[in-house]
Amino acid sequence: MGTAVDRFDDKARGLFDRIGTNDVYQGELLRHRPYTRFLHWMVALFFFLALFSGFGIYLPWLFRWFTPIFGGGALARSMHPWFGVGFCFFFGLQVLNWLEPMLWSKADTEWIRGLKNHVLKPEKLEPTETGFFNAGQKVQFWEITIGSVVFLITGIILWIGAGTFGRITVAVSYVLHDISALVMLFGIFIHMYLSTFGQPGTFHSMTRGSVAESWAWTFHPSWYKQVTGRDPRQAHEEARRQMETGRR
């Protein structure tokens, strides 16, 4: 990545480090710095504002009860594009922030091949090659990146209207805009589940920034090795033995 982007990211991270704090206690590791957390929650906020204000326009006979939240249909319609702009803006910054750990690797392809093991018959420990993000998280990230671009282009066309772009362009854009939202919504359900109930301990990384070491060697072994210098499997084995002796 270009050095200008790196310098920008470093500056922003530094700025937010001065404002925000992390809670990292013994046996924990810092995972997400304040800048990352700030961006993530701004993205989530604008995503849901745009989603809920869009629902009433998407399927009025089912989601009509969403529009009063925004002060009626007309107001929901006029605010929706601005929510979308906010979403794209903050996610754009997040893309720059996360570009490096999100790059695809050979190990990720392997991970996707073994998807069934991760989902249906979860092996207790992630493959040792799994780094800061696993391949599923990377897919989610790139899906949202592509989706945001589709949102932005089709959204601007819908915003400015058929008078400028022609009625067929608008008619097609509106379908693409919908599909983009549906795919993202589908993914977000899975995302919300995995970062809360589905994988306990993950949520804290986005609130106060830290995760337990055991979380790290279980789900992101390669990252664990990188930050602690210890072998993740060995660390797990030691902890297991300790737990057993403690019981006796």
Interaction site with other proteins (CB under 8 A): 56-62, 64, 72-74, 76-78, 119-122, 124-125, 158, 161-163, 167-168, 170-172, 174-175, 178-179, 182-183, 185-190, 192-194, 197-201, 212, 214-215, 217-219, 236, 239-240, 243
Q: How far is the CB of 22 from other proteins (least distance, A)?
A: 19
Q: Given the rule CB under 6 A, which of 8-16, 64-72, 73-81, 194-202 is the region that contacts ligand HEM?
A: 194-202
Window 101 to 120, contacts with ligand HEM (CB under 6 A): none
Shorter beta-carbon distance to other proteins: residue 12 or 138: 138
Shorter beta-carbon distance to other proteins: residue 14 or 198: 198
Shorter beta-carbon distance to ligand HEM: residue 1 or 74: 1
144 binds, among other proteins, ligand HEM, none (CB under 5 to 8 A by kind): ligand HEM
206 binds, among ligand HEM, other proteins, none (CB under 5 to 8 A by kind): ligand HEM
Choosing from 180, 205, 218, 222, the residue that interacts with ligand HEM (CB under 6 A) is 205
Q: Which two tokens stand for residue 132?
A: 């800061």
Choosing from 28, 31, 173, 224, the residue that interacts with ligand HEM (CB under 6 A) is 31
**How many Å apart are CA 88 and CA 82, to the nearest integer?**
10
Q: Count how many Cα atoms sit within 13 Å of the Cα of residue 50 in the half-sphere of its side chain.
A: 25
19 binds, among other proteins, ligand HEM, none (CB under 5 to 8 A by kind): none
**Applying CB under 6 A, does 208 fall inside the site for ligand HEM?**
no
The angle subtended at Cα 181 by Cα 92 and Cα 203, nearest 5°, is 65
Instruction: Print the SS3 string covering the chain.
Output: CCHHHHHHHHHHHHHHHHHCCCCCCCCEEECCCHHHHHHHHHHHHHHHHHHHHHHHHHCHHHHHHHHHHHCCHHHHHHHHHHHHHHHHHHHHHHHHHHCCCCCCCHHHHHHHHCHHHHHCCCCCCCCCCCCCCCHHHHHHHHHHHHHHHHHHHHHHHHHHCHHHHCHHHHHHHHHHHHHHHHHHHHHHHHHHHHCCCCCCCCHHHHHCCEEEHHHHHHHCHHHHHHHHCCCHHHHHHHHHHHHHHHHC
Q: What are phi and psi of 28, to 5 degrees?
A: -125, 165
Q: How far is the CB of 2 from other proteins (least distance, A)?
A: 36
Choosing from 105, 117, 196, 242, the residue that interacts with ligand HEM (CB under 6 A) is 196
Residue ranges in contact with ligand HEM by CB under 6 A? 31, 40, 43-44, 47, 133, 137, 140-141, 144, 188, 191-192, 195-196, 202-203, 205-206
